[in-house]
Chains A and B, each alone.
Chain A
Amino acid sequence: MASPVSSVPAEEAIEAAVEKPVERGEPILQVRDLEKHFPLTQGILIKKQVGAVKAVDGVSFDLYQGETLGIVGESGCGKSTLAKVLMNLERATAGQVLYKGEDISRASGRALKAIRRNIQMVFQDPYTSLNPRMTVGDIIGEPFEIHPEVAPKGDRRKAVQDLLDVVGLNPEYINRYPHQFSGGQRQRIGIARGLALKPEVIIADEPVSALDVSVQAQVINLLEQLQDEFNLSYMFIAHDLSIVRHISDRVGVMYLGKMVEIGSDEEIYEHPTHPYTQALLSAVPVPDPSGREGRERILLSGDIPSPANPPSGCRFRTRCWKAQEKCSIDVPLLAVPEVFRGQSTPAAHASACHFAEDVDVVGAG
């Protein structure tokens, strides 16, 4: 596939960027106004576009080297789509994804191959994401076929066994098939595969959601240990807010294709200022029956609107108990709200609400 001539310098720039080291705490990924719209078509022979599902609709944030950024939000808010666009598994409709300063959102060919080495994904479902007809050795070693420079042919078996060992599986299991493993073990296989090419960034989409409580803890501990060992940056997508708090340095909250609030774990969990974040946090069942009678819960009414036809102004307004006229007219931007600007309170973090207030709904502060 010939790529257009004009993209060659970009390709080289990306290949050069991939090799560049990034200091801890510097941005490694910078997402700018990212959009992914899926066309809605009508007609069978002549397809006519009648609209679009705005799965990701103008999202901006940074991922810093060595950190874990948690992404939360109800199902359908665009978390997986965001992950796929960052991975170049889906093409962005608009916006940029800067990896070490170079836009990779339109990368192809050699540049894409180089990026894929450094940004890897771990999927939710350990049952369907592994090819049942391949041995564990072949599954984990498959990335080496595409990137033989990482592990030359003769060293591969050893490389795979080392990876099995790293994720806490017996290296002798190399010739077994996925069905011979439990869910938690399969997730470890998925992680080993994700680590094969020694990536810098791992995007994990609900990596423990399908696992039992006792096994979840094992996999979370493994992910944390690997992060320290290999200096990884994580984007960790999950709908379980307790797990996200445990593993994340910073947390971004998504609603209907937009990032509505982002900040450190303390800022989001103890000083949420966006009504949606507050509702989400207050709905989480707390594993402690003491004081359950006194616990206040913000019960949201109604369903999430369709991302094909989001409400005007603030997208959350159809379910927001604080909505005013302004909310249906002006789109609130993701920035430190005016009331908190220049203050040294944890409430002074980015929140896309016209009427942001600091409310402790978790009862931690």
Chain B
Amino acid sequence: MSTAVSARAKTGDTEEAPLLQVRDLHVEFRTRDGVAKAVNGVNYSVRAGETLAILGESGSGKSVSSQAVMGILDSPPGFVTGGEIMFKGRDLLKLSNEERRKVRGAQMAMVFQDALSSLNPVHTVGTQLGEMYRVHKGSSRKDAKLKAIELMERVGIPGAKERVNQYPHQFSGGMRQRVMIAMALALEPDLIIADEPTTALDVTVQAQVMELLGDLQREYNMGLILITHDLGVVADVADKIAVMYAGRIVETAPVHELYARPAHPYTRGLLDSIPRLDQKGQELYAIKGLPPNLLRIPSGCAFNPRCPMAQDICRSEVPPLHAVTEQDGRALPGRGSACHFWKETLHG
């Protein structure tokens, strides 16, 4: 696996310490209707320069798990009830609020789907960008504005010198998303979490924004967590993928392998259910039923009511994330499947 080794050498972190390592993370929401178990033991890691895509349908816990990492969980009703979030050698869950705030923005930043509601409508874009420098670096008003213009140019906003004085609503959706990216980038963080950053955009603009994110990530050698439900976007940019279902990671794999040989029935169902641009398909495969209500997650494997391969054991025992190997037992690095029948699924 010489390519993996050289990639690691380039990024400068070691096997023992990835940039971010999430271990056995649990998050629940205590609501009037009961306890919604939104995240149920999630594990993943991201290295500098690496792109991890977290893929899943709505409600699977993608946003909540990353909000826990960022420390911006809506709490109450949301609570982290277990796990570790190791970031650059420290467990973020053990830090004080003050220390956490320093990490946020300076070392990790987030880009949201809806740029319009994440930007302040009453302040100019320049003021909001400049504030990052004024608050975190104590820059003067004038320097902050110059920095803001520089950033806007870096993220490809034409006419930055004039537009720095405009308000968010005067920008198109794609340009607003660039402003959000500029904001996340301002303090040159080590990690960016992008939560459905292009979902609200047209494909033409989507392609521009994804290209920009990828360029910046390479340039600054940042870790990138890309949250999305779009199998196309993932295939385009991710190095590795974690597929989430009902608050759990059900499959992890390097991007090429996941698409070529899924080892979990849910992943396989998702891949089969999307129409393709380059071929006229027959009837689409449709995963039956609906994603579960998190107040009443099915016992055993949460996917069992919808799974065409389910057996009795699937209704009683929660499948752990098995290490996935070749038929002859050869290891497949980075691959895991939370399915009792991963062998049948993969080698079937």
Contact = CB atoms under 8 A, between A and B. Distances in A.
A220 interface: yes
B204 interface: yes
Contacts of B287: 214, 217
Contact of B270 (A214, A241, A284, A364): A214
A26 B178 CA distance: 48
A241 B203 contact: yes
Given A212-B229, A214-B57, A245-B280, A285 B204 contact: no
Contact of B277 (A266, A286, A302): A286
Most central of A243, A246, A289, A362 by chain B CB within 10 Å: A289
Contact of A285 (B58, B205, B235): B235
B230 interface: yes
A215 B290 contact: yes
A242 B284 contact: no
Contact of B236 (A212, A216, A279, A285): A285
Interface residues of B, number: 48
Given A280-B203, A299-B208, A287 B286 contact: no
Contacts of B286: 214, 217-218, 221
A324 interface: no
A287 B236 CA distance: 8
B277 A245 contact: yes
Given A242-B276, A287-B271, A303 B207 contact: no
B275 A245 contact: yes
B273 A283 contact: no
B202 A74 contact: yes
Interface string B253-291: 001100110000000011101111111110111111011
A297 B207 contact: yes
Contact of B235 (A75, A269, A292): A292
Given A242-B275, A242-B277, A286 B259 contact: no
B270 A213 contact: yes
A270 to B, nearest CB: 9
B288 to A, nearest CB: 8
Nearest to B232: A285
Contacts of A289: 235-236, 238, 255-256, 259
Contacts of B232: 242, 284-287
Contacts of A182: 290
B207 A287 contact: no
B229 A280 contact: no
Nearest to B230: A285
B109 to A, nearest CB: 24
Contacts of B153: none
Contacts of A184: 290
Interface residues on A, range: 35 or more
Contact of A239 (B203, B279, B283, B291): B203
Contacts of A302: 158
Interface in B211-237: 211, 229-236
A239 to B, nearest CB: 7
Contacts of A212: 57-58, 229, 291
A212 to B, nearest CB: 4
B278 A285 contact: no
B305 to A, nearest CB: 13
Contacts of A300: 204, 208
Interface in B67-116: none
A40 B265 CA distance: 54
Contacts of A224: 283
A290 B280 CA distance: 20
Contacts of B206: 283, 285
A363 interface: yes
B203 A287 contact: no
Contacts of B259: 287-290
The 3 A-B pairs with the shortest beta carbon distances in the complex, nearest first, are A285-B232, A246-B275, A217-B273
14 contacts: A212-B58, A218-B286, A221-B283, A221-B284, A241-B203, A246-B280, A283-B203, A285-B203, A285-B207, A286-B276, A287-B234, A300-B208, A303-B175, A364-B277
